Structure 1
């Protein structure tokens, strides 16, 4: 019979302690504290063996022990350690563990840390689960928590990520609202003002993707009143050329504007995908002639 690994031995000791009735002279709190310590040691031992599911399970049990003796901060930390272990191949369990962490953090008013963990959930939804809508929700929740803790720049990074994702799933109105929100904030600082033209470019492309060039032009005029330098930028000229092409139903002019812009500023995947949607809309419009 193969000998038990150090991790298994520690886990058995932890289980025994957690299931014990406690002696005459020991409080139930001390029982849970000792069991929690043993589960933590077992979890770290499993990590050394690269058994991440087992490590996550032990950190989860540790967290439950910490909860049993009202050690809220330690419980939050144990759930987070569980999530980090589960991230190695068990994304659904990682999300559950992060949810427990967030519950403890928000209860104790630690919204900045809760936002960090919520952002982690968003990244798991994108990278591991390909669930863009759920990722949107997580990034927006994280953004709201960062904003209320006065971490406005970090909040805006989350809103911008949410906007990109909304556009990917054709929720263009939601994307525009978030790009405009981030642009409004960015206008208030010399450091971030340079990035405004890109947010407005993306908002303009989203407006065109809704099939409403009139609204797109109205938005571009609004942005020009917010920043007098915007109309002279390559981004503004590009969107206005696209609006003209869409209103004229001119696919060649549209393609020409895209090629010209791409020669100087390489289009990324996000912009390429949305431009293809706009182009398809022009091609599908019935001809007036």
Structure 2
């Protein structure tokens, strides 16, 4: 479907809205009290133009129009509408200009936190983190936004949502070799979930990840950590993850890279190890004397 007509219509609407905004601040507009009404009308026109730009898939045009509407909403003291328009602008800019999208989402977050709407602010911090992950590939900044989201969720007692954000942070910290921070997160989330009947099955996975991070730093620390997790969470002892860790520790002590690889292959044949686990296991294996091989 050809939407070029929609784009022309949108451009015309933008020009008309700009004129309305200008006349609202003029001497006559102010004297006869029509200024406020004109700003409201212009605001509506910018929103209509934005939707037409969206239909024409002109994402920058849509983002710009929503931003203009947001600024007018702010002038009219409509905080909620202002934040909504900034979110709409951010969503449009995501398709054309990630940096502009982040600016708009941050502007909305400032309004939501000012209104005490921390759960919504957290949700949009996650959106920014995802842009840094996939579009701008700046993992440090993604981590910062996931952490901020987790803080806001915790403050609102949304612990499940906070844990999801923290697990993202833990995974990235381990990849970036910030093992101590990753360990703290996995232990904290593991401890938070092990007493929850619905979530306790996941706790063994978090303790497993924490133990792998310990293992890379220091084999003795890993041994102590495994014993601690078994004591804290008896179900961990019977898990395949715990049994694998014990085999790996034994292979490490004996400096036996074949036994290490065999233990990993056996585990992987039943429970597939993802890229994150494989990366960490390879790092551990490479600390076994003179081994530069792979896990397969």
1:160 maps onto 2:167 in alignment: yes
Q: After TM superposition, give the deviation of residue 32 of structure 1 in Å.
A: 2.8
Aligned counterparts of 1:193 and 1:27: Cα–Cα separation in 2: 62
Counterpart Cα distance in 1 of 2:289 and 2:48: 63
Task: String of CA shifts for 1:207-258, please: whole Å, max 9, x gaps.
Answer: 1122x01111111111111111211211001112212222332211211111
Provide the C-alpha distance between the structure 2 equivalents of 1:277 and 1:89, rounded to a whole number of angstroms.
Answer: 38
Structure 2 residue corresponding to 1:69, chosen from 61, 66, 76: 76
Give the 3-state SS of the residue equivalent to 2:234 in structure 1: coil
* TM-score normalized with structure 1 length: 0.93
Residue 208 of structure 2: SS of its match in structure 1?
Answer: helix
> Which residue number corresponds to residue 210 of structure 2?
203
Which residues of structure 1 form unaligned runs of 5+?
Answer: none
Aligned counterpart, 1:249:
255
Q: How far 1:27 moved relative to its partner?
A: 5.2
Match of 1:232 among 204, 213, 238: 238
Give 1:121's aligned residue: 128
Residues 235 and 51 of structure 1: CA distance in aligned 2, closer, same or farther (over 3 Å): same
Note if contact 1:29-1:68 (Cα within 8 Å) is conserved in structure 2. Answer: no
Aligned to 1:60: 67
Gaps of 5+ in 2: 292-296
1:13 matched to which residue of 2?
Answer: 16
Give the 5 Å matches for 1:1-289.
Answer: 5-20=8-23, 21-22=25-26, 23=29, 24-26=31-33, 28-210=35-217, 212-283=218-289
Deviations 1:93-143 (A, max 9, x none): 111111001000000000000011011111111111111111111111111
Secondary structure of the residue that 1:282 maps to in structure 2?
A: coil
- May I ask how many residue pairs the two structures share in their alignment? 283
Q: Which runs of 4+ in 1 moved over 4 A?
A: none
Query: How far does residue 28 in structure 1 lie from its aligned partner after superposition?
Result: 4.2
Q: CA offsets, 1:141-184, max 9 Å, x none?
A: 11111111111111111111111111111111111111111111
Residues 16-37 of structure 1 deviation map (CA, whole Å, 9 limit, x = unaligned):
1222224122254334322221
SS in 1 for 2:269: helix
Residues 36 and 66 of structure 1 are in contact (CA less than 8 Å); yes or no, is this contact kept in structure 2?
A: yes
Against the structure 1 CA distance between its residues 264 and 68, is the aligned structure 2 distance closer, same or farther, given a 3 Å change threshold?
same
**In 2, Cα distance between the equivalents of 1:101 and 1:11?**
22
**Aligned Cα RMSD in Å?**
1.7
Structure 1 stretch 44-53 or stretch 31-40: which is displaced more?
Answer: 31-40
Would the aligned equivalents of 1:186 and 1:192 in 2 still touch at CA under 8 Å?
A: yes
Change (3 A) 1:79 1:222: same
TM-score (norm 2): 0.91
Q: Distance in 1 between matches of 2:85 and 2:216?
A: 45
